[in-house]
Structure 1
């Protein structure tokens, strides 16, 4: 392939022309050889994914929150890229976490809901990112909330079974004991008993200790740090909560948006300071970890990605009769999706568009703001490419190498991103079942028959919700131009029928591909 054509002036002698051509070609050869050597000799980065729990798109100061102080993440964003179109791969935690590890839509792995529902657990046949990285010489570690299997069960996979050399993990979050002095951690499969301190500090400190004392310094490393914060229950140190103890905070909070929902009709303002303080506490712990990396001389060769597993928790759940479902933990949920519609569990943007900040000095220009989409399924192919690891070819991989999104440049994507609401959930009126992104458009789909109709027909089934998912297809739709209508206020299904008709079969076929690969819990062997 000719990359450059050189034309000699008509009045030049052949000898001069040939000499000039030789000089140019030699220069090009030297440049090409130098670039190739630089590419081949470039050190593979260490990689840290710092994954928060239920942090909303609008919860950080750098994403426009007028109340919450996040100075470390603000600085981190200035040193790297702030993503405006970052997405978790699902609208709740277990499916989202499964996709990070596998690069696959979590429905393919049977995560129709959180781990444990219908017997859902991570299967050993899945190929994970840490397994692939270990093949090319990486050391791997996991810290924090796992939520893909029951770690206390001898029959379910452990964190270490799925490719991590070291782990300090909890099966779920801090529900049993709260985030202070948690008692449910397992270190490499063995219970630790009570660990003193707060959840986020415990795992961040253990991660730093592993980097400093337990790994092979000659190998690159990959780790996931998955916090409990700001998922409820919350109980931040007093000094962080006191930052938000005052009437001016309550006044500002009155303008907070909750994806189209209103807060319960009772005074729960005393809890605001605890939620806001928890986010600042998490920011503080993250900042100390970044300072540690710099002190250890690891800042420049470490790609750090900060994000959330899904959108923020809704402030109120409704009962089937329309009344509020009493759940006091949600009284402390003050996370916001900003201007987005919907929250956790919703396939609308607020359920899966999340904060995303990445830093890799010398490779991601400081101060970049990117409006390119990066989805949770993209972690595996993107990081595998950087590490020189293979991407499995014996199974569908829904993600793509999307490193260009960190540079705000275009890249190719073969499979449209698709987000699901995991199962029927009558307590949230107005929720849909799935969303598919295609260019500037988002198609919302609802399964038919509806859950209500299916439920009436299948009164004797013990696995009705799985049966419904495994036999239904999307039959009703909404269409939004997400570039022009970020809050998804205007359904274009009637006015842009050509686009609608073009996208419906794409969604239906992709849904069938994903649906039919996933296990039928309760009816078929795992």
Structure 2
């Protein structure tokens, strides 16, 4: 532990440079806490009737709860790439979850073993690192197939001074994982639950930093993604409340994650860092569907009032919990329904840090700070999703202001695509958008009333913007080579 702390502290200063016009004490720290498969309705502050989340409830009371917070995609890997780059993940060539490279010989996954967040992408930790911030990842990475090798860029090459991570899930489960890697070195078997292990690594890292050093922490929990494992005493607390032991396991899993958040927040308080630290809590996508695959028998997440689940382009696929706390600037106890996205982190944090962005960098996110002050986000581009492997037939969706539009591709006949390669790119680009649905989403979060027939003028306007966004994005998306 002492050895890696020394390495981390020695290396941090190498990329630092002074940022003009901002004193060190004026630049906030940033903490992004990301859950895996947590549904919009899985927290007490979002209406769950049973799950106990006192630390996140406190975070919401002390900050702002965002009821229209969106992930960059309805599935993990592209969502994470979008968060880190501020760009639609299709633009970066990440279209679906990334299997480990060892799965390359499984049917349909050969080209997916090539997929990774390429070194050409500019990332949030890189931007902040160049502005003098210390940066760390603790938890789930899932931005490449070839993990912890020289074959593809690793977290360190994406701008993290320190990283403690797994490629995808904690294995064999959240309890006593054996697959964590720290700065390129396999850690081996660990005792405890993954969320606490990730939080404690983050705490150790923060405690080792010089007090004057601003930092960016990306704490990416595995919870409550399967394979779920939870402390028995927490599971027991839901006996007689949950419908069965599997549901009790899920409830306890979310509560255990909340405990890990509490440990981190207590550390920020103890070190007197809380006042000027921006803490954002969210999820990579909506909740998993119960029993969708063999090992998902504990996937009892709830979308609340939203339609669909994970892997859908309807609201429940991408609309997730969002909580932001920054005592120095955000008035506590607020609730905002302004549309905010994880794509907004990079431009927002860069602005607050006084960091420079490369000239010509095409971002899809916007500065979200106006929303955190009760205002509107000024977006040049609507929020836009294309998920070619969606479970619902309308695989294209867009939200602009109070409205949302969805569409099928070729009448729903375009085959599902988990990765866009040279062999499939033309079909994707030439696809025709059809079967449009229109919702006034600000008033109809459950997407219950399709207004396509009642609002022809609005439909025409939104349809034109959707088609333009589709052509622009598919025209600029990165395409992978085919692999036999």
TM-score w.r.t. length of structure 2: 0.88
Deviation at 1:464, TM superposition (A): 5.9
The structural deviation recorded for 1:272 is 0.6
Q: Distance in 1 between matches of 2:431 and 2:408?
A: 10
Q: Cα distance, 1:111 vs. partner? A: 1.1
The answer on whether the counterparts of 1:473 and 1:512 sit within 8 Å (CA) in structure 2 is no
For structure 1, which runs of at least 5 residues remain unmatched after alignment?
Answer: 1-36, 251-268, 318-326
**Aligned positions of 1:252-291 closer than 5 A:** 269-291=244-266
> Deviation per CA, 1:443-462, whole angstroms, max 9, x where unpaired?
0021126445x68xx9xx99
Say yes or no: does 1:482 pair with 2:448: no
Contact 1:435/1:443 (8 A) holds in 2: yes
Aligned partner of residue 84 in structure 1, secondary structure: strand
Q: Which residue of 2 aligns with 1:167?
A: 163
Decide whether aligned partners of structure 1 residues 523 and 77 sit closer, same or farther in structure 2, where only a CA change above 3 A counts. Answer: same
Indicate the residue corresponding to 1:249 in structure 2: 242
Could you say which residue in structure 2 is the equivalent of 1:309?
Answer: 284
1:255 matched to which residue of 2? none
Q: Secondary structure at the match of 1:54?
A: coil
Q: CA RMSD in A?
A: 2.2
Q: 1:234 aligns with which of 228, 231, 235?
A: 228
Q: What is aligned with 1:519? A: 478
Q: Tell me, in whole angstroms, the C-alpha distance in 1 between the residues paired with 2:275 and 2:76.
A: 31
Residue 55 of structure 1 corresponds to which residue in structure 2? 38
Give the whole-Å Cα distance in 2 for the aligned partners of 1:376 and 1:468: 29
Any residues of structure 2 matched to 1:348-497 within 5 Å, and which?
348-421=314-387, 423-424=388-389, 428=391, 430-448=392-410, 450-451=412-413, 468-497=427-456
1:473 is displaced (CA, Å) by: 3.8
Matched-pair contact (CA < 8 Å) for 1:111–1:120:
yes
TM superposition shift of 1:465: 5.5
Match of 1:211 in 2: 206
Distance 1:78 1:224 in 2: 22
Q: Is the 8 A contact 1:91 1:420 kept in 2?
A: no
- Counterpart of 1:296 in structure 2 is 271
Shift of the 462–395 alpha-carbon distance from structure 1 to 2, 3 Å rule, reads closer
Q: Shift of the alpha carbon at 1:420? A: 2.6
Change (3 A) 1:341 1:228: same
CA–CA distance in 2 between the matches of 1:509 and 1:79? Answer: 41
1:156 and 2:122 are equivalent in the alignment: no
Q: Deviations over 1:255-298 (max 9, x none)?
A: xxxxxxxxxxxxxx220100000000000110111011101111
Pairing partner for 1:73 from 56, 79, 87:
56
Distance 1:381 1:473, change over 3 A: farther
SS of 2:216's partner is: strand
Residue 175 of structure 2 is aligned to residue 180 of structure 1: yes
Check whether the contact 1:368–1:407 (CA below 8 A) recurs between aligned residues.
Answer: no
Query: 1:92 aligns to what?
Result: 75
CA contact (8 A) 2:423 2:482 kept: no
In 1, are the aligned partners of 2:277 and 2:326 still within 8 Å (CA)?
yes
- Do the aligned residues in 2 keep the contact of 1:447 with 1:472 (CA within 8 Å)? yes
State whether structure 2 residue 197 is matched by structure 1 residue 202.
yes
TM-score of the superposition, structure 1-length normalised?
Answer: 0.82
**Which secondary structure does the structure 1 equivalent of 2:250 belong to?**
helix
The structural deviation recorded for 1:41 is 7.8
Counterpart secondary structure, 1:355: strand
What is the rounded CA distance, in whole Å, between the counterparts of 2:270 and 2:21 in structure 1? 27
Give the C-alpha shift of residue 513 in structure 1: 1.3
SS class of match (1:305): strand
| Number of aligned positions between the proteins | 449
Deviation at residue 67 of structure 1 after TM alignment = 1.0
Following the alignment from structure 1 to structure 2, what is the Cα–Cα distance between the partners of residues 314 and 41?
A: 46
CA deviation after TM superposition for structure 1 residue 184, in Å: 1.0
1:42 and 1:407 map into 2 onto residues whose CA distance is 21
Task: Give the direction of change, closer, same or farther, for the CA distance of 1:466–1:276 in structure 2 (3 Å limit).
Answer: farther
Structure 2 spans left out of the alignment, 5+ residues = 1-19, 100-108
The 1:462–1:142 alpha-carbon spacing in structure 2 relative to 1, beyond 3 Å, is closer
Worse overlay, 388-397 or 183-192: 388-397
Q: Distance in 1 between matches of 2:248 and 2:128?
A: 41
Quote the residue 1:9 is aligned against.
none
1:467 deviates by 5.2
Deviation at 1:463, TM superposition (A): 6.9
Shift of 1:193: 1.1
